Amino acid sequence: MTVLIGRRDEQGKTQAGDAAFSDGVEHIVFTYDYKIGTDGKLESLVVPRSAQKLLK
């Protein structure tokens, strides 16, 4: 997952559309990569009793 957030410039404006994320325009970027492995059957999870109470 990549999250792109436009920032306001010195005039307090955020550029419209893709321009907010273009060369020379400062913006915020977060990336998330999830890898999922579905091989085989995993052992069932056994939750300690003290932890169980916090999940309810």
Partner 1 sequence: MANQQQMISITVARSLVFVSVFVSMIAFGGYFAPPASCQAAKKDDVRSAPDPARVLRQAVQNLEQHSQKNGYQIDCLAKGGLSNKGDHEVWMHQVYEEHSGVIHGDLMFVEKLQVYRNPSKGAIRVDENWIPLQNSPAGNRLDRIIHFPSKLLLAAVAQARTAEWIEPEVEIDLNDPDYVDPMDPLEEPEGGTKVVEKPDQVSSYERIKIDIGEKMAVKYFNGVQNSGLLGGFL
Site string for partner 1, 11-40 (x = CB under 8 A): ---xxxxx-xxxxxxxxxxxxxxxxxxxxx
Residues 6+ apart with CB under 8 A from 19: 25
Q: Does 9 bind partner 1 (CB under 8 A)?
A: no
Residues 6+ apart with CB under 8 A from 27: 4, 5, 6, 7, 20, 21
Contacts with partner 1 in 37-56 (CB under 8 A)? 37-45, 47-48, 50-51, 54-56
Structure tokens at 31: 């990336």
Which residues of this protein are in contact with partner 1, per CB under 8 A? 1-6, 14-18, 20-45, 47-48, 50-51, 54-56
